[in-house]
Structure 1
């Protein structure tokens, strides 16, 4: 009998300014995974990077032990990156950054890491996002070592630009969970699977 059975990483939702409302894809995504949690800022109208990053940690601490994958939007993406820079021991193992806000709009470029993030990451951007140009999104993705995707002219990838359900984000979460499961699988299980496939 296993004393420490594997537990799939839970999903952490990190909203941006003014939270993600009822019709937002982050709310939809959260509903797809029963054990997900959302970071609740004390004031979603005040973009305070360090306070928002600290709130991510308190949310994780309150949820108890275990690994996480995180999906962040807009200013929440900046807070998530800052959290990862502040906490080398963060239980977050993979991150998806969707339509990050432009750090320079808030005077925060120097408060964010300019090097590869400590965990695998993907960044999804838009060709006509009013909050960050596609060129800037690509630069930040390159600095952070993130896989980069440009969805085309789809705005800020929010409710106003027509995003309720967002199947691409759900597929990413499912793939991240599958990757985590593979990494935790005993080596003999991998061998058996390979032998069966052959």
Structure 2
């Protein structure tokens, strides 16, 4: 059975120039919509991901494609959900460092990241000049989560402002995760 590709944007959602939005339009990937993109509550975001997985009548396997705060959603959700067996893998792109001094106040309930090993395959993609997370911290998240680390070079926060377009390199990483079934 072909897995669902679930798009998990970060804080403030992903705009039209973001590779996640482009993948949704190009490939039919499914965005997990949140009730509040501006003041996200971790528990609410986790409950929404659970609901999306639970409400799939066919109980298809899923692959999570997370950007920024969406990466921390995956880690927090995986630590508490009864539905982790429905997830085959995760592509985690540009996780921010919630313990950074300048982490936004609106994200206060994300300040303590969950760092346990994920119960499914994962690849973490990090940029060497991401202002939201040092490469060292990104490597620490990858290690803690049991994810393979892929270095994207100096590409900023790997978002719409990074000029990635359809980001074929990222899609190739996703395809590699799908091929590992």
Shorter chain as normaliser: what TM range? 0.7 to 0.9
Which residue matches 2:83? 89
Contact 1:47-1:75 at 8 Å conserved across structures: no
Which residue matches 1:125? 126
Deviation readout 1:45-89 (Å, 9 max, x if unpaired): 113222112111112222331100110000111111111111243
Match of 2:4 among 7, 10, 34: 10
Q: Give how far 1:173 is off.
A: 2.4
Deviation readout 1:133-170 (Å, 9 max, x if unpaired): 11110111111111001212110001112122111221
- Return 5+ residue gaps in structure 1 as ranges: 1-6, 181-198
Which 10-residue stretch deviates more, 87-96 or 65-74?
A: 87-96
Which residue matches 1:42? 35
- Tell me the number of residue pairs that the alignment of Structure 1 and Structure 2 aligns: 172
Give TM-score scaled by structure 1 length: 0.80
Q: Could you tell me how far apart the structure 2 residues matched to 1:126 and 1:116 are?
A: 22
- Return 5+ residue gaps in structure 2 as ranges: none
SS of corresponding position for 2:55 = helix
Q: Give how far 1:177 is off.
A: 2.4
Which residue matches 2:19? 25
Runs of 4+ aligned structure 1 residues displaced above 6 Å come to none
Which residue matches 2:173? 172
Which residue matches 2:48? 55
Which structure: greater helix fraction? 1
State the Cα RMSD in Å: 1.6
Q: Could you tell me how far apart the structure 2 residues matched to 1:16 and 1:73 are?
A: 6
Q: Give how far 1:175 is off.
A: 2.2
Q: Give how far 1:94 is off.
A: 0.1
Contact 1:8-1:177 at 8 Å conserved across structures: no
Which 10-residue stretch deviates more, 84-93 or 10-19?
A: 84-93
Contact 2:79-2:116 at 8 Å conserved across structures: no
Which structure has the larger Rg over C-alpha atoms? 1
